[in-house]
Amino acid sequence: MKRFKYIGAAFLLMIAVISCTIGAAKQKIVLGSFSNSEITVADGKKVRVGTELARMFNEEHPNIELVYEDIAAEGRAIHTVVATMLASRTSTYDVFISDVVWQPEFPLRKWYEPLDKIFPKSEQAKYIPGMINAWSMGGHIYGVPFTSDFQVMFYRKDLLEKAGFAPPDTWDELISICQKLQNAPGLYGFAADWQIHSDCTFSPMLWSAGGDFFDSKNITVNSPAGEKAMQLMMDMNLKYKIMQPGVTSMSHDETRNLFSEGRAIFHQNWLYAYSRSQSEEAKVQNKVGVIGIPRMSKDSPKITPLPTGGWSWSVNPFSPRKTAAFEVVKWLASYKVQKWSAMYWNQTPALLSLYDDAEVNKAHPEYALFAKLAPYTKSRFEKYDHFMEWLDRVRQEAGSAIIGKQTAKQAVNNLADTLSIWANLPEKYK
């Protein structure tokens, strides 16, 4: 009888071991991102970004298998792929990159899993405020930023110093410097893409005049401040003639090339333009300064907010493996991984403490130039339910005004009309 008891106990033990083994089976998590490009890490080793992130994670997490997959290479294409996946309530990617301009489209459609439990307020406080604001809505946080981006003003430090000019504080000062130093077509005053990215240029001009798109009750883009901002863009192109030809048709990378080739005094762009201007091929290496966006006048707010860009890690609400997906996001948010991204992937930090990291600053001295400006970033209308449509409308109206096909007043009135199409806009913004 005892023998049968022992056999029974052994059988139960075997079942328990098998159950534990099955329960401990690896969960596969798919990470969707936009880059598996080759980079050089410590000791000169060459790796692929996404593949290496998956390898590092899997080395530390025996119960989860992280697999990297490319989504697409360009922002709107990524949006299309991810939005299609979420609209069909599928989980091709359990964790995916998320752009600031997807707010609040995704939260309103419940296409993000809230990350409040794994990314509490105490952790959010460690990041650039503008980035946290971009991914917050309705009391929830929907993304952990891993890279920050914002538009700044690059300028030819050598040319201004030689002529005895300080970096401009106002737009009038910038215009004056351009008129005195430019010598087209060899040297233009200001290189910018004022149609393709006109939301990023009109927005800070509007803010520099003390205006905004709306307040808590009314649409205000067609206020005197809005008209003044639009008129300034028109005048810089048509009256003062400091802009490069093709200001409404060139891409931001084409204008960046113009600046890197030494053919522009000022250049407004995203942060990546600095590292490109310091490459061996650039003719302005060691000649570039970085400042914020000028203000409209000495009576304007002291600091002009900077339009925000950047990416976060978000969790698919339709993933059947959300617990494991949370573990992946927590790991991606760790100081170690954020530092790795900043150093080797060349992603400008969203985590503020990385700007004080000696190793990070040694690898990327330009981060020190960005650190003083990072606190002044502002969402460039991401909280608007129809942001993609708004982008296209700003391009249309601003582009038409910049080349003189309509007045500044007509342009901002048309923008106000666009905003009024959708009901309850201020409530949605709140």
Q: Tell me: the pLDDT tens digits for 385-425?
A: 666 677 778 888 888 898 999 999 999 999 888 877 764 55
Residues 268, 290 contacting (CB under 8 angstroms):
no
Q: Which domains does the chain have, with CATH numbers?
A: 25-149+309-378 (3.40.190.10), 150-306+380-429 (3.40.190.10)
Instruction: Tell which residue, 194, 311, 307, has the closest CA to residue 242.
Output: 194
Instruction: Tell which residue, 240, 145, 136, 246, has the closest CA to residue 191.
Output: 246
How far is it, in rounded angstroms, from Cα 68 to Cα 244? 42
How far is it, in rounded angstroms, from Cα 294 to Cα 48? 39
- Six-digit token pair at 193? 């893409």
3-state class of 277 per DSSP?
helix
> What residue type is 237 in one-letter code?
N
Q: Tell me: the pLDDT tens digits for 94-129?
A: 999 999 888 778 888 899 999 999 999 999 999 999
> Is the pLDDT reported for residue 11 higher than 50?
no
Residues 204, 305 contacting (CB under 8 angstroms):
yes
Based on C-alpha coordinates, what's the Rg of the chain? Answer: 25
Phi, psi at residue 154, to the nearest 5°?
Answer: -95, 145
Residues 68, 55 contacting (CB under 8 angstroms):
no
Q: Tell me: the pLDDT tens digits for 354-391?
A: 999 999 999 999 999 999 999 899 887 655 666 667 77
In sequence order, the 6+-apart residues with CB closer than 8 A to the CB of 315 are 94, 95, 112, 113, 115, 322, 325, 326, 329
Q: Which range has the worst mean pLDDT, 17-26, 208-217, 270-279, 377-386?
A: 17-26
Q: C-alpha angle 349/152/367, rounded to 5°?
A: 30
> What residue type is 388 in one-letter code?
M
Q: How confident is the model at residue 18 (pLDDT cuts 50, 70, 90)?
A: very low
Q: What is the DSSP letter of 170?
A: B
Residues 414, 397 contacting (CB under 8 angstroms):
yes
Higher pLDDT, 284 or 25: 284
Instruction: Tell which residue, 305, 307, 282, 281, has the closest CA to residue 294.
Output: 305
How far is it, in rounded angstroms, from Cα 83 to Cα 344? 29
Beta strand segments in 36-163, E? 38-40, 46-48, 64-70, 95-99, 136-137, 140-141, 144-150, 152-156
Instruction: Tell which residue, 247, 243, 233, has the closest CA to residue 179.
Output: 243
The neighbour count for residue 14, using CB atoms within 10 Å, is 10
> How confident is the model at residue 390, as a pLDDT?
73
- Six-digit token pair at 82? 């991810």
Q: Tell me: the pLDDT tens digits for 283-313?
A: 999 999 999 999 999 888 889 999 988 999 9
The distance between the two most distant Cα atoms of the chain, rounded to a whole number of Å, is 105
How far is it, in rounded angstroms, from Cα 428 to Cα 424? 6
* Length of the chain measured in residues: 430
CA dist 86 → 14, 79, 107, 109 (Å) = 42, 10, 11, 9
The neighbour count for residue 335, using CB atoms within 10 Å, is 12
How far is it, in rounded angstroms, from Cα 33 to Cα 35? 6
- Six-digit token pair at 17? 């071991």
> Cα(first)–Cα(last) distance of the chain, in Å?
74
β 288-291/46-48 pair status: unpaired
Directed axis angle between helix 49-60 and helix 322-332, to 10°?
A: 110
